[in-house]
Chain A
Amino acid sequence: MKSRVRSRIVALAASLAFAAVYALVASSDPMGALDAFFVSPFASPYALRSLLESSSSLLCCALGACLAFRAGAFNLGGEGQASIGTLAAALVALACGNAGLAGLDAVAAAIAAAAVAGAALALLSSVAESRAGAQVMLTSFLFGQAAIIGVNWAVGGPLKDPQANLLGMAAVPEGLRLPLLAPPSPLSLAFPISLALAVAVVVFTRGTRAGVEQRILGKNRLFARAAGLSPRIGTWSMAASGALAGIGGSLLVLGQAGRAVKDMTGGVGWNGLAVALIAGSDGLGALPAALFFSWLDSGARQASILADLSPDASAVMKGIALFLITATREKP
């Protein structure tokens, strides 16, 4: 346990060190850059709430990846599952709007639709494995990429909003969006939802029988089989993984953006995977790691506006952190 925490702290420290060095070396206003990076994301309630909100979708995707890891599968289709979740949520929300339904029930329906869509996509890979023995790692990636292309085409093409000037669907009506918790900040119901899901996942992995079975399946498949554990735990884990990614996508659509646009997921699935790799498979570290990633993005963005650094510095830091985590022999 201790070495796990230690290696994460080392990774964290190293990526922060990079930020500091980068700020000092590349900026004409090093102090301003450091301030923009390390201080301003926390400097005001608005900034803090933005941080929490922006981590919601990422957290969901990360939880999904964690569950898949735990059962011994590398779900590489998270981006695609989130993508199909955005489409499903948008379709259901718009349909509800057209039918005159509104309120939290309708929002819940949209989110549920996204979960089902994501789960279905993930289950495709799971079935391919149990029937044909095709590795989940490969098929989830392939189906996921295909799904992204399909969703992008649909959103920018046949489902495009003819009146809008962007490549996206019609806006989701006000009553069907996630309510804001502390206007004018963007903090919405999305964050409590993702938080609740995180708690549920942790309770599941650490406190339930199925969680124990899942772990055994993931760590020693042969023993799981010999002991008579049902292989269905693996299937359910993939389904849950896809569902969580789908929910992550739905939070993007029903939140600030308010509509489904092309390339909506913007890497949340891949970032979620990276977060899960850093967090460890029981989901306990998912929230801090997701917040860390959100903070990196936010800090880099602020630094590029307020000082003259590149907003993509966060990607470098994420890469460094991931390298160090894996180099210290940590496996999910």
Chain B
Amino acid sequence: MMLDRLTSLALSSLSCAAPLALAAIGTLATEESGSLSISIEGCMIVGAFAAAVSAQAGAGLVTGLAAGATAGLGLSCLVGGASLALGADVFVAGLAANILAPGLVSVLSQAAFGTKGVLAAESLRSGPWPILFALSLLCLLLILLLTRSVFGLRLRASGSSESRATGKEIAQAAGISSRRYRFSAHLIAGAAAGVAGASLAAGVGAYVPGMTTGRGWIALVAVFLGGRRAWPVFLSCLVFGFLIALANLGQSFWNGGDGGGNAVELLQALPYIATAVALIAWRRLEKAKEERV
């Protein structure tokens, strides 16, 4: 019994962690390129919706994920375009995307399907293993892209921040257009988050408003926690995935009848608090180092 429980916890941890990891690594690309996109949550939402929409036409998992990627790509195109081409503050643009996304989905859903609530997507429904496989594969590909490819190298150069030169200047000195790489990073982040959102819909076999439950923000927190390196971000997502799975388990375990007030709920706050503490501690160490030198 215990072993069963543990393995199921492990599986659900991985299932929770995988979309986080994919979205986080995608966003890491934008952070490394010097133009951090915070629109993960919004891209996940449109991604989940797009996957469910594709299921109305009978699409399966792969097509659904592709639809999610496209939707996320579209939204992040707006964010990247506004910030890189029109000079918008990339942060505010990301915020606007996050505000826009749920509303847009609701509007489209109402107009096309007459409901702004649950959208069933039976053909999209898949078991945990195929989803896990797909997400892990994409995640690994992204990590490879960022750390070993020519594209990844130039991306990182664009985001370099030295005390007296900006990433833009550094890239320019090497004959590279930082703008192009930053925009590509936005597209990657959007597509990745879109797939992550689509995978959520695939897991449940439907689009449910609010199904992302702030996971996009958790993925963003993982990016902060991991610094600018892929593996720490990945690991953070594993830990956060575990915490989410644990909280879910706890809720069904200690069911208070009306679903409220379990101390296990507080587990959801752990990622935020842990990251805050880690950030502060890390900064403190950096500061002390500077003063010593």
Q: Which residues of A contact B (CB under 8 A)?
A: 22, 25-26, 74, 128, 131-134, 138-139, 142-143, 145-146, 149-150, 152-153, 156-158, 160, 167, 262, 270, 273-274, 277, 308-320, 322-323, 325-329, 331
Contact = CB atoms under 8 A, between A and B. Distances in A.
Contact of A326 (B93, B103, B275): B93
Given A26-B111, A323-B78, A326-B82, A314 B261 contact: no
A152 B106 CA distance: 25
Interface stretch (B25-33, B61-69, B266-274): B266-274
B268 A149 contact: yes
Contacts of B276: 128, 134, 138-139, 142-143, 146
A142 B103 contact: no
B261 A270 contact: no
Contact of A319 (B103, B111, B266): B103
A74 B99 contact: no
B228 interface: no
Given A26-B111, A132-B287, A153-B261, A315 B100 contact: yes
B261 A139 contact: no
Interface string B88-114: 110111011101111111110111000
Nearest to B82: A327
B107 to A, nearest CB: 5
Contact of A142 (B116, B265, B275, B283): B275
5 contacts: A26-B111, A128-B280, A150-B266, A152-B265, A158-B261
Contact of A22 (B96, B107, B275): B107
Contacts of B281: 132
A314 B107 CA distance: 9
Contacts of A322: 92, 95-96, 99-100
Nearest to B287: A133
A317 B104 CA distance: 9
B110 A310 contact: yes
Contact of B221 (A142, A150, A167, A315): A142
A303 to B, nearest CB: 11
A324 to B, nearest CB: 9
Q: How large is the interface on B (under 10, 10 to 19, 20 to 34, 35 or more residues)?
A: 35 or more
Contacts of B269: 145-146, 149-150
Nearest to B100: A319
Contacts of A158: 261
A153 B264 CA distance: 9
Contacts of B262: 153, 157
B87 interface: yes
Contacts of A128: 276, 280
B175 interface: no
Contact of B92 (A26, A146, A277, A320): A277
Interface string B243-285: 0000000000000101011110110110011011001110110
Sorted nearest first, the 5 A-B pairs with minimum C-beta distance are: A157-B261, A315-B103, A319-B100, A156-B260, A312-B106
B283 A74 contact: no
B280 A139 contact: yes
Contacts of A331: 89
A248 to B, nearest CB: 18
Interface string B72-95: 000000100010001111011101
Given A26-B111, A262-B260, A318 B89 contact: no
B224 interface: yes
A142 B87 contact: no
B164 to A, nearest CB: 14
Contacts of B261: 153, 156-158, 160, 167
Given A310-B106, A312-B107, A326 B88 contact: yes
A133 B99 contact: no
A153 B91 CA distance: 30
A314 B275 CA distance: 33
A134 B277 CA distance: 10
A260 to B, nearest CB: 13
Nearest to A152: B265
Contact of B260 (A26, A139, A160, A320): A160
Nearest to B107: A310
Contacts of A143: 272, 276
Contacts of B287: 132-133
Given A138-B279, A142-B221, A153 B99 contact: no
B93 A319 contact: no
A325 to B, nearest CB: 8
B122 to A, nearest CB: 24
Contacts of B272: 142-143, 145-146, 149
B99 A270 contact: yes
B95 A157 contact: no
Contacts of B97: 319, 323
Contacts of B99: 270, 274, 315, 318-319, 322
A311 B261 CA distance: 30
Contact of B96 (A160, A262, A323): A323
Nearest to A149: B269
A108 B62 CA distance: 58
A269 B198 CA distance: 28
A316 B107 contact: yes
B103 A312 contact: yes
